[in-house]
């Protein structure tokens, strides 16, 4: 999952980057409404964690702009105002979920997984394709009843492929999932991760489409 965190407190923002990173997400961070608008216009995110009170305005305005543009990116509001009326205002402005500060990091990660799942129209918490079952909550793949532990990057690559089985993912799309803006992209990282994944879950599961990218075999 690639997630945009819009939060002006540096300590919290750093905690979200590292903490959500531990659960296999790639995080990009901005601290103002202006930067958030620019980031959302420039790149595609699986979800946005949006603080309501930002130095140059209200996160709710950013949210309203995003929705007016027809952008359906799932948004989770993060705010110190957690009275019922504030929650209602946030949800009615187009937010998918709401979490009051301070919150539990694991709960935030679980809620993000849930709103992404809903965006994809899936009811099942696990991803399934080509005989592989992937649990985003534990980052563990199961092949023929056998649990296969994955590294953080391997999980990111596999989940990108398994979210849309049968659909080809280009190398740059996969790289987007692996690296945030401030991270150096290693040139053949994707190939290395695909190679490692194939040894773990079976050679046949991931198909290389020459010159385009990769896809999971099996039912789309």
Partner 1 sequence: MTSLKRRLFVLLLAATGVIWLSAIAWISLGSRAELERVLDTRLQEAARMVHSLAGSAMTSTASAAVDATGYARQLSCQIWSLDGRLVGRSSGAPDGRLAADQDGFSDREVNGETWRVYTIVDRDKGVRVAVGDRLGLRDRLVRDLVAGMLAPILLVVPLLGVLIWAGLGRGLRPLEALAGEIAARDGEDMRPVPTEGAPREVRPLLSALNGLFGKVEAARRHERDVTAFAAHELRTPLAGLKTQAQVALAAPDAATRDGALRQILVSVDRTTRLTRQLLALARLEAMGAARPEGTIDAGAVLRDVVASLPLPAGTTVTVDPALDGLRVPAEREMLHLVLRNLHENAVEHMPAGGRIAWAPLPGGLGLAVEDEGPGIPDEELALVTRRFWRGRHRSASGTGLGLTIAEMAARRLGARLGFANRSDRSGLRCALAWS
**Contacting residues toward partner 1, per CB under 8 A:** 8-12, 14-16, 18-19, 22, 51, 53, 55-56, 78-81, 100-106
CA distance 59 to 51: 6
Measured from the CB atom, the residue of 67 and 101 that comes closer to partner 1 is 101
User: What is the nearest approach in angstroms of partner 1 to the Cβ of residue 20?
Assistant: 9
Measured from the CB atom, the residue of 59 and 213 that comes closer to partner 1 is 59
Measured from the CB atom, the residue of 70 and 102 that comes closer to partner 1 is 102
User: What is the nearest approach in angstroms of partner 1 to the Cβ of residue 19?
Assistant: 4
140 forms bridges with which residues in the sheet?
A: 135, 149
User: What is the nearest approach in angstroms of partner 1 to the Cβ of residue 45?
Assistant: 20
Asked whether 200 and 141 are in contact (CB, 8 A), the reply is yes
Asked whether 202 and 148 are in contact (CB, 8 A), the reply is no
Phi/psi of residue 202, each to 5°?
Answer: 110, 135
CA distance 81 to 72: 24
CA distance 96 to 66: 13
User: What is the nearest approach in angstroms of partner 1 to the Cβ of residue 77?
Assistant: 13
Measured from the CB atom, the residue of 108 and 127 that comes closer to partner 1 is 108
């Amino acid at each position: 999952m690639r997630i945009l965190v819009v939060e002006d407190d540096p300590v919290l923002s750093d905690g979200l980057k590292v903490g959500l990173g531990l659960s296999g997400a790639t995080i990009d961070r901005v601290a103002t409404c202006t930067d958030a608008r620019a980031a959302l216009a420039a790149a595609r995110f699986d979800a946005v964690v949006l603080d309501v009170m930002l130095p140059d305005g209200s996160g709710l305005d950013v949210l309203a702009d995003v929705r007016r543009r027809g952008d359906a990116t799932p948004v989770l509001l993060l705010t110190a105002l957690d009275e019922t009326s504030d929650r209602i205002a946030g949800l009615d402005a187009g937010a998918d979920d709401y979490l009051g500060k301070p919150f539990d990091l694991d709960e935030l990660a679980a809620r993000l997984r849930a709103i992404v799942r809903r965006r994809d129209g899936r009811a099942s918490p696990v991803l399934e394709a080509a005989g592989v079952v992937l649990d985003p909550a534990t980052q563990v793949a199961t092949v023929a009843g056998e649990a296969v532990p994955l590294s953080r990057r391997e999980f990111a690559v596999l989940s990108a492929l398994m979210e849309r089985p049968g659909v080809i993912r280009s190398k740059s799309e996969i790289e987007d999932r692996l690296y945030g803006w401030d991270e150096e992209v290693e040139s053949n990282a994707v190939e290395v991760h695909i190679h490692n994944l194939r040894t773990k879950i079976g050679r046949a599961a991931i198909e290389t489409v020459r010159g385009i990218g990769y896809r999971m075999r099996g039912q789309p």
